Chain A
């Protein structure tokens, strides 16, 4: 083994070799299961296939033309955008309220924080099957609530108007734990003296939250907008468990569309699926770049 040396001294060839050997395991895994598949996705997107789904010929951009001219394409983009808006904004607002409520000392707070973090322990499958039961039209709590308020029962997961909303509610609930923990960490970093000064100036709880806490945690909020948007664009499990993309495509997001084209019911159209996957990749890149370009300027970095 090489002996530790001060950074000032020139590195030996042995140390360089050792360091490369140490990053090698990760690089091999990345190359095999991320970078090569990325290249393959581009290759497959220009490939046609035989009846068994085996790639057999070059088709140029035909798969992309197929995707863009598919009558479902517009609906998929609409559903994806609607789903992102219905999940990211409510989830961040709800967890912001929670974080603001939980930031000040209150009896039993530690336990409450742990309890509110608990949705984070739920896997997408676990949360989805629980909400499937809650949204059950006959015996679910959701309809129990709705009917006790005097409305008629709702077919939450099978009606075009409510299916996406129901999935969004499930997702918001799942993400509240994570978002609240991030925001609480941000809130905990605000200098206590600022609060003291504001109180001396006669500012109330609401004013302090609006004028001190929220502006100071904009880095955390920005982080959540980016991370939640990407996670939302990648949502799959809740759609598969709750609606399978239905009714008639009303919950088919980009990711579910890829699954539907390439895998669902033995579809195995890998060429078109890969073209759709590249659309997904492009959407994620463009939205992330936009968020960094537009939103980050409003972020207050200390």
Chain B
């Protein structure tokens, strides 16, 4: 497990520096190469079509998108769906709910993960192995199998339809600790020794040296936690029933139930809900891959 970071680093640079020019020059356009491009196009069409449909469909008027057979290309573009979707569900409020919940969960998990990973790596933590097993165990319990008692807990404390209920169970997670622990373990010992000689306290070492140098790992954890918090479905569905306390995801599901005949409206809602996560996947891909492979290579 501990080698991931060391393995990942040269790997990334190898992909960056692999020069495309020579190999392209070496190989003349062959039948195999043509087949590859063709296969790529077919798969591209299959995988990318729903994305095209989401965005373009959200800009189509009812005469294009809600017609049979459906129009694949818009005859005209309109922003009407975007105006309509805010009238159909309290989308603005739900956007706020999702943002508040996902940001608070991300922040809390980052703080908890930094603290516990630091204790695991840099301090003489008692029962270290047992505690680490406990952290790993949290990753293995399916949330769906413990959702009933959690629901009853919130209901008994009259916490349904509250931010508290949406946030509390996810204030900490094993994944962040796991990934940051791996990253901290590869921290150069010389740098740590230098800080020790300077008489730096744990707090100063953590805040001024370790964290700034661990930004990529922190970004991985942050992006991952945000994505999963933003995209949650089962828990907010159970714990909220007032539209004003629901998250965007539940709003999309109710939109789908209420506006079946109006796909443009639904797709406008989807496009809006996608904005933050699409930005993270597009611009944070480097960090995503690092998080994805944390368990893949051991």
What class of interface size applies to chain B in its complex with A?
35 or more
Cα A184 to Cα B12 in complex, Å, equals 11
Known: A3-B199, A132-B256. A23 touches B125 (CB 8 A): yes
- Whether B54 contacts A130 by the Cβ 8 Å rule is yes
Q: A265 on the interface (CB 8 Å rule)?
A: no
State the CA gap A40–B148 with chains docked (Å).
Answer: 9
For B66, list chain A residues within 8 Å (CB). Answer: 139
A20 adjacent to B126 (CB under 8 Å) = yes
Interface of chain B: mostly helix, strand, loop or mixed: helix
Residue A125 lies at the interface, judged by CB distance under 8 Å to chain B: yes
20 A–B contacts, CB within 8 A, in A order: A3-B200, A5-B196, A22-B115, A22-B119, A23-B125, A26-B112, A26-B177, A28-B172, A34-B141, A44-B149, A105-B23, A105-B24, A116-B48, A121-B281, A129-B253, A129-B266, A133-B263, A144-B70, A230-B142, A259-B234
Q: Tell me, rounded to whole Å, the shortest Cβ–Cβ distance linking A52 to chain B.
A: 11
Interface string of B267-298 (1 = CB under 8 A from A): 10110011001101110010011001101111
Given the known interface contacts A22-B118, A30-B138, A129-B266, the answer about A178 and B292 at a Cβ–Cβ threshold of 8 Å is yes
A270 touches B152 (CB 8 A): yes
Q: Give A8-27 as 1s and 0s: 1 = Cβ < 8 Å from B's Cβ atoms.
A: 00010001101110110111
Interchain CB contact (< 8 A) of B202 among A1, A11, A34, A224: A1
Name the contact of B297 in the complex, choosing from A2, A115, A125, A219 (C-beta under 8 A): A219
Partner of A280, one of B12, B144, B200, B231: B144
Q: Cβ of B256 and Cβ of A182 under 8 Å apart?
A: no
Q: Which residue of A lies closest to B126 (CB)?
A: A16
- Distance of B86 from chain A, by nearest CB (Å): 17
Specify the main secondary structure of chain A where it touches its partner.
helix
Most chain A CB atoms below 10 A, which of B134, B177, B203 = B134
A129 to B234, CA, bound (A): 15
Cβ B50 vs Cβ A134 within 8 A = yes
How does the 8 Å CB contact mask read for A93-125 relative to B, with 1 for contact and 0 for none?
A: 010011001101110000011111111111111
Assess whether B50 is in contact with A273, with CB atoms less than 8 Å apart. no
Query: Within 8 Å CB of A133, what residues of B?
Result: 53, 57, 263, 266-267
User: Least Cβ distance of A136 to chain B in Å?
Assistant: 7
Question: Which residue of the partner chain, among A4, A33, A140, A188, contacts B205 with CB atoms under 8 Å?
Answer: A4
Docked pose: A131 CA to B51 CA in angstroms: 11
Q: In the complex, what distance in Å separates the CA atom of A286 from the CA atom of B288? A: 29
A29 CA to B7 CA, complexed, in Å: 32
Q: A141 at interface (Cβ–Cβ under 8 A)? A: yes
Other than the given A32-B169, A192-B14, 13 more pairs (CB < 8 A) read A1-B203, A25-B115, A37-B150, A101-B40, A104-B23, A115-B48, A122-B277, A129-B269, A139-B68, A181-B288, A204-B32, A205-B36, A288-B140
> Residues of A at under 8 Å CB distance from B?
1-7, 11, 15-16, 18-20, 22-23, 25-30, 32-34, 36-38, 40-41, 44, 94, 97-98, 101-102, 104-106, 112-134, 136, 138-141, 144, 147, 173, 176-178, 181-182, 184-186, 188-189, 192, 204-206, 219-220, 223-224, 227, 230, 233-234, 236-237, 240-241, 255, 258-259, 262-263, 270, 273-274, 277-278, 280-281, 284-285, 288, 301
**Given A19-B124, A189-B11, A219-B298, A126 and B144 contact (CB-CB distance below 8 Å):** no
Determine the chain A residues whose CB is within 8 A of the CB of B152 once the complex forms: 40, 270
Q: Render B129-148 as a binary contact track against A, CB cut-off 8 A, 1 for contact.
A: 00100110010111111111
Closest B residue to A191 by beta carbon equals B14
B298→A6 contact, CB < 8 A: no
For residue B230, CB closer than 8 A to chain A, the reply is yes
Say which residue of B14, B153, B168, B274 sits within 8 Å of A121 (CB atoms). Answer: B274
Identify which of A33, A124, A130, A177 contacts B281 (C-beta below 8 A): A177
The answer, yes or no, to whether B116 is at the interface (CB within 8 Å) is yes
Contact A136 B7 (CB under 8 A): no
Measured CA separation A59–B66 after assembly (Å): 53
Closest Cβ of chain B to A212, distance in Å, is 16
Q: For the complex, is B91 an interface residue (Cβ under 8 Å from A)?
A: no
CA distance A36 to B138 in the complex (A): 12
Most buried by A among B144, B199, B205: B144
Nearest B residue to A259 via CB reads B234
B73 in the interface, Cβ–Cβ < 8 Å? no
User: For residue B144, which residues in chain A have a CB less than 8 angstroms away from its CB?
Assistant: 234, 236, 255, 258, 277, 280
